Chain A
Amino acid sequence: MTDSPSNEPVGARFRDFQAQLDQPDGRRHRKRGRGRGDGGEQLTVPPADFTSYYGRPILKAPVWKHDIAGYLFTGGLAAGGAMIGAGAQLTGRPRLRQVGRWTALGGIAASAYLLVHDLGRPDRFHHMLRVVKLTSPMSMGTWILTAFGPAAGVAAIAEIAPRLPEHGVFGLARRLAPTVGDVAGLAAAATAPALATYTGVLLADTAVPAWHDAYPFLPFVFGGSGLAAAAGVGLIAAPAADTAPLRRLTVAAATIKFVGGHRMGRSSLTGEPYRRGRSGRLVRAGNVLLGVGTVGALLSRRSRVLAVLSGAALVASSVATRFGIFDAGTVSARDPKYTVVPQRERRDSRQGRSPAEKGT
Chain B
Amino acid sequence: MPHANALYGPLDPAPDAGYEDAPPRMGFFTDTSVCIGCKACEVACKEWNGVPQSGLDMLGMSYDNTGALTANSWRHVAFIEQPRPVGWATPAFEGNPDGPAVSPATAAVGARTSADTGTEPGLPPGSPVAAARMSAGPDFLGMPGTQPPGRGSGAQGRTDFRWLMASDVCKHCTHAACLDVCPTGSLFRTEFGTVVVQEDICNGCGYCVSACPYGVIDQRKGDGRAWKCTLCYDRLGAGMTPACAQACPTESIQYGPVRELRERAAARVEVLHERGVPEARLYGHDPDDGVGGDGAFFLLLDEPEVYGLPPDPVVTTRDLPKMWKHAGLAALAITAATVFGFLGGRP
Contact = CB atoms under 8 A, between A and B. Distances in A.
Of residues B184, B278, B317, which shows the largest number of chain A Cβ atoms within 10 Å of its Cβ? Answer: B184
A225 to B, nearest CB: 10
B204 A120 contact: yes
A245 B344 contact: yes
Interface string A202-227: 00111110011001101110111011
Interface stretch (B34-42, B88-96, B99-107, B252-260): B99-107
A242 B67 CA distance: 60
Given A51-B306, A201-B327, A83 B338 contact: yes
B23 interface: no
Contacts of B303: 51
B123 interface: no
A130 B340 contact: no
Contact of B103 (A4, A83, A121, A329): A4
B305 A62 contact: no
A127 B184 contact: yes
A118 to B, nearest CB: 8
Contacts of A255: 337
Interface residues on A, range: 35 or more
B305 A340 contact: yes
Given A63-B209, A206-B211, A227-B338, A14 B132 contact: yes
B3 interface: no
Contact of A344 (B108, B210, B312): B312
Contacts of A244: 345, 347
Contact of A223 (B133, B212, B333): B333
B105 A88 contact: no
B249 interface: no
A29 to B, nearest CB: 13
Interface in B290-305: 303, 305
B333 A260 contact: yes
Nearest to B59: A54
Nearest to B179: A135
Interface in B181-213: 181-186, 201-207, 209-213
A321 interface: no
B217 interface: yes
A53 B311 CA distance: 12
B281 interface: yes
A141 B181 CA distance: 12
Interface string B145-157: 0000000111001
B86 interface: no
Interface stretch (B10-18, B45-53, B136-144, B231-239): B136-144
Contact of A194 (B103, B329, B331): B331
A18 interface: yes
Contacts of B281: 358-360
Interface in A130-155: 130-131, 133, 135-139, 141-142
B224 A121 contact: yes
Contact of A245 (B142, B180, B342): B342
B256 to A, nearest CB: 22
- Looking at B68, B281, B306, B338, which has the most chain A CB atoms within 10 Å of its CB? B338
Nearest to A32: B139
B44 interface: no
A355 interface: no
Interface stretch (A5-13, A104-112, A288-296): A5-13
Q: Could you say which of A122, A222, A358 has the most chain B C-beta atoms within 10 Å of its C-beta?
A: A358
A138 B330 contact: no
B163 interface: no
B316 A2 contact: no
Interface of A: 1-7, 9-11, 13-15, 17-18, 21, 28, 31, 50-54, 56-64, 80, 83-84, 86-88, 90-91, 118-122, 124-125, 127-128, 130-131, 133, 135-139, 141-142, 193-194, 196-198, 200-201, 204-208, 211-212, 215-216, 218-220, 222-224, 226-227, 231, 244-246, 248-249, 252-253, 255-256, 260, 329, 333, 336, 339-340, 343-344, 346-347, 350, 358-360
Given A2-B154, A121-B225, 17 more contacts: A11-B104, A53-B306, A54-B142, A121-B203, A124-B204, A138-B205, A194-B331, A197-B330, A205-B320, A206-B181, A207-B212, A207-B215, A211-B210, A220-B330, A223-B334, A249-B342, A350-B312
Interface of B: 7, 59, 61, 67-68, 78, 80, 100-101, 103-106, 108, 128-129, 132-133, 136, 139-143, 152-154, 157, 177, 180-186, 201-207, 209-219, 223-226, 278-279, 281-282, 286, 303, 305-313, 316-317, 319-320, 322-324, 326-347
5 contacts: A54-B61, A59-B215, A193-B330, A196-B330, A336-B305
Lowest 7 A-B CB distances belong to which pairs?
Answer: A120-B204, A120-B224, A249-B341, A53-B308, A124-B203, A252-B337, A193-B331
